[in-house]
Chains A and B, each alone.
Chain A
């Protein structure tokens, strides 16, 4: 039986892209963990205690100590378990991986969320803005199976947000933000992801996921475009 202090616990939420990133990383590393599903509409005392600053999932607890912020957690996982590296070894390539992951979270995520619930000209502008950002990632994928090269890496894990949240929900939101005609490389990359065993294991099941998002949109009174 594992020592209590070796325990790895993940406070997460099954439909959250940020929580799923951590599950992907732990699975790549072959690390066993206890998953604690959190109700983000009614936050547990444990979550508030472990992440008092942001009060958000995911939180990784290792040796009883909490780590928050998904990209920080991914780097912690890579620093702690050295098998199957997630970040490149070369400092320049590492810096580029960090740059793109940050770009996904700070720019693409924000722009994509801005599309939801908009109509008419506002919607068109929000879609254009998101596509302009995605074009940088499209370029990055040329000649590569994954952002990480031959294998899944840091940027791929971060970018699952695009593949399985942004792109999956296009029908519900009512806007094809990432059409294959404009983004053939991204579509090819998604196919590569879907063929990967870790990804298949770690992403939310599609039907359940889409039902959840539809429900959320109804609750938040957001209509599809």
Chain B
């Protein structure tokens, strides 16, 4: 049976970027469908009735929701190329812990920098702390997975395309606060899967500027 892989996504989503990267690492051909988040398609609402959010991976008609779950699914369905998760149980648990940390902490805090008024200073301080914790975990390693690009790298890298937004509205400079993390991000961007999945930072900054105008913040 021919494989049918569809990804319902939104170009600027750091979560959608994760799934794009995972599919590219595995060389899987898929049908990318851009969703208008202000006018969600009936397919999206049908495939993700619980959260109504992108990304949704539809494999042979069956939906898999939540980006980290999608990465694990992709790794399990197509195990031959480029393992995304370690095979050792402890290393796997370690990777899942850090991906969970990223999910629990980064976006919740980062959103407050640009999507709200009045919380930018506190949120940007908190974000720097979170990024420093991640930088500390990275240490001297090439990637979070050590020599191999994998799950934790994929979980975090999409946020790097948003650093310009956080710098701008949070009045911080992530590069000077977390130089090793920026160096890591540049190494990741050398991978074709990442370079193709991440939009240019300027495009995201412009998008957020326009969104903030619509929301009446500017």
Interface residues of A (CB under 8 A from B): 53, 62-63, 65, 67-69, 71-73, 75-76, 79-80, 91-92, 94-95, 98-99, 102-103, 136
- Complex: chain B residue closest to A103, CB-CB: B50
Contact B92 A75 (CB under 8 A): yes
- A residues near B72, Cβ cutoff 8 Å: 94-95, 98
Contact B92 A76 (CB under 8 A): yes
Interface residues of B (CB under 8 A from A): 49-50, 59, 62, 64-66, 69-70, 72-73, 76-77, 89-90, 92-94, 96-97, 100-101, 133
CA distance in complex: A92, B76 (Å): 9
From known contacts A95-B72, A99-B65, infer whether A68 and B89 are also in contact, taking CB-CB under 8 Å: no
- A residues near B65, Cβ cutoff 8 Å: 99
- B residues near A91, Cβ cutoff 8 Å: 73, 76-77
From known contacts A91-B77, A95-B69, infer whether A69 and B97 are also in contact, taking CB-CB under 8 Å: yes
- B residues near A65, Cβ cutoff 8 Å: 90
- Complex: chain B residue closest to A53, CB-CB: B101
Selected contact of A67 from candidates B49, B69, B93, CB within 8 Å:
B93
Contact A67 B50 (CB under 8 A): no
Chain B min CB distance to A24 (Å): 18
Contact B62 A92 (CB under 8 A): yes
Taking chain A's interface residues, is the majority helix, strand, or loop, or is none over half, making it mixed? helix
- Complex: chain B residue closest to A90, CB-CB: B76
CA distance in complex: A103, B59 (Å): 21
From known contacts A94-B76, A98-B69, A98-B72, infer whether A72 and B93 are also in contact, taking CB-CB under 8 Å: yes
Contact B97 A68 (CB under 8 A): yes
CA distance in complex: A173, B72 (Å): 38
Task: Report, nearest first, the 7 A-B pairs whose CB atoms are least far apart.
Answer: A79-B89, A76-B93, A91-B76, A95-B73, A72-B96, A67-B93, A95-B64
Contact A92 B64 (CB under 8 A): yes
- Complex: chain A residue closest to B94, CB-CB: A67
Residue picked from A92, A95, A103, most chain B C-beta under 10 Å? A95
Contact B93 A102 (CB under 8 A): no
- Complex: chain A residue closest to B79, CB-CB: A91
Contact B100 A72 (CB under 8 A): yes
Chain A min CB distance to B191 (Å): 24
Contact A67 B73 (CB under 8 A): no
- A selection of 8 A-B contacts at a CB cut-off of 8 Å is A53-B97, A67-B97, A79-B93, A91-B77, A94-B73, A95-B69, A98-B72, A136-B49
CA distance in complex: A16, B102 (Å): 24
Contact B90 A67 (CB under 8 A): yes
Contact B96 A75 (CB under 8 A): yes
CA distance in complex: A25, B201 (Å): 44
Contact A99 B66 (CB under 8 A): yes
- Complex: chain B residue closest to A76, CB-CB: B93
